[in-house]
Each structure stands twice: as structure tokens, then as C-alpha cells.
Amino acid sequence: MDLKLLEELCCVSGVSGNENSIRNLLAEKMKDFSPEIDCTGNLVCIKKSKFKDAPCLMLDAHMDSIGLCITEICERGFLKFSAVGGVDERILPATEVLVHGKKDVFGVVSTKPPHLKDKNDQDTVSIDSLFIDTGENSDGISIGDKISYAPKFKKMLNSVSGTYLDNRVGCLAIIDVFMSLNDKELPFDLKAVFSVGEEMGMKGAKYGQQVADMGIVLDVTFGKTPDETSDEALEIGGGAAIGVGPNVNKKISGGLLCCAKDNNINCQVEVLEGCSGTNAWMYQVKGLGIPVGMVSFPIKYMHTPVETMKISDYEDCVKLLVDYILGLTGEQISEISGVEIC
């Protein structure tokens, strides 16, 4: 794992609807693979096969993130705001943020000192009761401007923690896969889609104009902690999470599991009993749909400024994807997708 590049990706803003900065960075990192921006704002890159009319395998990772949006500018630089995506209101008080106006402005989310609380104060937090304090620095800030968590990134022994691992680890994985396969001749086109708007209804996957015969979506999933006993949470350090269930194609998930076993790659099964809440769902059902698989990175503290993951889980995911792609043939893609090779 290139920790320096991951830090760079995690510390660039990309709140849904305002993905320009992260898209420009990804386009620079993927400049050898013909980066283009589609009508939706997705960044699309491709490694072309030498074979004419070759089928296409797509790797998708959303580049957008959750965040906040200014709804009112008050006196003395205080701002009212609403959520963009699935923001956890519990963690907002005293959180450091960046307001993306004409220039970035640092702010902190208000919180009442415990000494001043009385018995009528609620223990629960409502976003409607909070303000962002910019220190009276509201010049260049407008209603509608997006707000992101102030960037953080730390290595913790064999783990990393920081802002927006969801889903910058997926973006980094696509970069690593393409670089690993750069000098390999593949019997199919390999397409990368860094999609927009996943946190706001999977906009990029829903309305994007990507054409592929099958795809694999990369995203994060829930990692276990001592206080989390849900069956949805997976083991940190357990390896790549391979999705199975009605949201994914059985042949793709089966192929990924066999690849992990044959190549001694740590993996675990993630049961997706319905809509996965990821782009995998939208690619499967939009239009005529395409067959998709799902590979996820278990992380702790999702949708907070301190998302945390184990480095070995990332490495297992990338190795799985590279080995699976190297073992895939154009005929297999056509069989899975039901499209014949001309």
C-alpha cells in the first residue's frame, strides 16, 4: 500500500456534488489510461485490449464522500448547515471542518460546555441545533457551499486511520490494479470508473454512460469492534470481503472465492441479502443491467473523521483483484454477461 498516495487521496475534498478536486487528482494519477469525464461527472479510464471487439470488464469505486452543506450564514461567522449523505449526527459536536467557499475556511462544530448543561438538555444531538464557528471568518462563504471534515491521516502500527477512507481506498485499489497490469496483455478491455454521487443515491452508477459487459464494485464495509456484534460486521484482518447474495452475480462471486482459495489470499464472505447500498446494486438494475461482483474493505468507524482499516486487508483485496483479472478470459466474460464475442 502506498501510504503517501492514500493520505493524498484521503485529504482531498470530494463531497457529493463537489468532486472536482478529487477527480482532478485521480485523473493525474491515471493519466496513462486515457482519462475522460462523462456527462454525469464520473472519471472513466481504460486499458485497451489489442483484440478487436473485445468484451469489457469494469472496476468501479465511488470517489465522492459524505459532508455538510451551508443553509444559513448567521452573525459573527456562525453557519447553519445540513447533511450531505449519511452523516452521523452523534459525532458532529466539536468536529473540525473545512468550508469550501471561494477559499477553504477552517471551522469547528459548536458544542455546549458540560458545565452549562441543565437537566432539560437532550443527550441526543440534532443537526438542527448545531452551528459551525468560523471565528468570524465568513468572507467568501455562500449558502450552498459544501463542507468536509478537516483532513486527518495517521498510521497506527499495521493500520491506517483518517478521513474518507470511504471510499478513497477503493480508488487507490483501482490505481494499484491498473499499475500492476500495465504491462500485461489482457484479452478484454479493462475500464476504471471513479463514480460521483454514490453517497447521494448512487447518481454516477445510475446515470453514467459507461458501457461494460460485467463489473466489480469496490467499496468499504463494516468492520468488527468490541461494541459491535452485528452479523453485518466483518473481521478486521480477515482479508478481502467478497459479496454473495442476490445483489451480485453468482459466477463472479464464485470465481472470486475460488481465486482467493487457489492463490492463498485471505478472504471472508459478506452476505448481501438485498440491496447492498452500493453502486453494485445500481449497476445491476439500471437499464438492462450488467452482472456485477462486490469486493469490500472492512473498516471501523464508518462515516466518521477517523475511519480505520488494517493494511493487510487492503493488500488482500488488491492481490485478489489482480489474480482474478489475470485468470479471466474474454470467453468467460461473454459467458457471464451473455454477450457473444464477434
Which residues carry out catalysis? Answer: 198
Cell 459536536, residue located: 93
Q: How far apart are CA 105 and CA 98, in angstroms?
A: 6
Selection from 322, 314, 326, 219 nearest residue 267 by Cα: 314
Cell numbers for 35: 482519462
CB 257 within 8 A of CB 229: no
Question: How many of the other CB atoms lie within 10 Å of CB of 277?
Answer: 14
Show Cβ contacts of residue 173 under 8 Å, excluding neighbours closer than 6 positions: 61, 218, 297, 314, 317, 318, 321
Type of residue found at 142: S
Beta strands in 223-323 (DSSP E): 240-244, 267-271, 292-299, 307-310
Dihedral angle, C-alpha 84, 87, 92, 98, nearest 10 °: -40
Question: How many of the other CB atoms lie within 10 Å of CB of 310?
Answer: 23
Cell numbers for 127: 443537526
3-state secondary structure of 35: coil
Q: At what angle do helices 20-29 and 3-10 cross, to 10 degrees?
A: 160
Cell 474493505, residue located: 297
- CA 198: distance to chain centroid? 8
